[in-house]
Chains A and B, each alone.
Chain A
Amino acid sequence: MKRTHIIAIVIIAAAIGIIIATAGDASTYVDFDQAYQMAESGNKDQIHVVGQLKKDSEGHVAGLQNSPDKLSFSFVLVDDKNKEQNVIYNEPMPPDFLKSEKVVVVGGYQHDQFIAKKILLKCPSKYQENKLVKN
């Protein structure tokens, strides 16, 4: 076998290795029930859950709680299957949090609490202006 062939095989092997590693490290979009089952079965992977903030009948965000020193907060997220879950986040509340349309939490269950390590916010018209601002 020529040395070039050996190199080719090594490259292919490395590429396959990368693909497998990526597939293994890729996270998934799930709902809270699936996330809970994953945690129950000992799976500590961090997952993405997409949801909306819980609102009361008047449209105010409900279930929000700040820690006394404002350095962390918790909130109730409703996933696509309408399951409500208390989510804890160890950072100050992002100031545009209450206005967000959609919230993606990245994290996992610890006991019965969902602990978010990262929060992604989808805010209406964040980068796109489609209404006139009246001066």
Chain B
Amino acid sequence: MNVSQIVQLLQSAVVFGTVIMFGAMGEILTEKSGNLNLGVPGIMYLGGFAGLAASFFYEFGNPDPNPVVCLIISFVAAFLAAALGGLIYSFLTITLRANQNVTGLTLTIFGGGLANFFGGSLNTMAGGVGQISVAVSSATYRTTIPGLASLTIDDFPIGSLLFGYGFMVFLAIITAVAMHFFLNRTRAGLNLRSVGENPATADAAGINVTRYKYLATCVGAGISGMGGLYYTMDYIKGTWANDGTIEALGWLAVALVIFATWRPLNAIWGSYLFGLLYWMYLYIPGLNRSTMELFKMLPYVVTIIVLITTSLRKKREDQPPAALGIPYFREER
């Protein structure tokens, strides 16, 4: 492996990691409130599709689309659509007391269905031909910081390694740091964690459990949806693919939550590590097509190992929120 190959591998790891980092961070926020939302893949689908559709309708028939407007409407649409998915989940599990796992899985079926249904036929329905494409929006998402991205030191492309990405890569890191601060340093974050650990005690302390669960789940879904947006706009450059990749990435995001032991800061390096593990097979010599497939198993195997070791070591700070997946009904205390 030479230097340029290593840089290329690291870059694809960062790009790949960013998709699942958004998904995982949204799910961390959701799980901190005690809701185990298995609808992450569906939510990422919703976000990715809504962002794409919003800029498509703006760009379609508009000869000179404004990049900033493209950015804002797709961003807002993606967040809202994903949060709406979270709202469906919240309403069913919190207000109507439906089972969390079943509701989450249904949301995955529904979100994936809706996004693939419209994503595949949006262009045909609007009277166009071939694949949907939003060139201007995608280019805006992929704009790098001028100057910094082409920086080199002794021919080592340090600039492109550190800065050669669209803004959402940095937004993901900022979100992770902000979420770490929110969860560990603010009163609202403390309240949220107490809801996820022991809702009955939180309720007795005067915390509005329902409101915290609703807000955390909807905002969390919105953040997860950003993963889908980054995927459609940057990763596959403003088109749509019905190949189910978002679903696989969504489950990987759920895995990352465990890997990061529910800490946003761990999700940063964890996601890049997953990206490395995922792409590594391209750079390992002597692999044939079948053994390559075994290598792609790595992120999941590593997650299983982390899951087992955390349950073996029983370190208190590494455990999932104590009330994760357990519904809270005040009158059943």
Say whether A and B bind each other. Answer: no
Q: Which residues from chain A sit less than 8 Å from chain B, CB to CB?
A: none
Q: Which residues from chain B sit less than 8 Å from chain A, CB to CB?
A: none
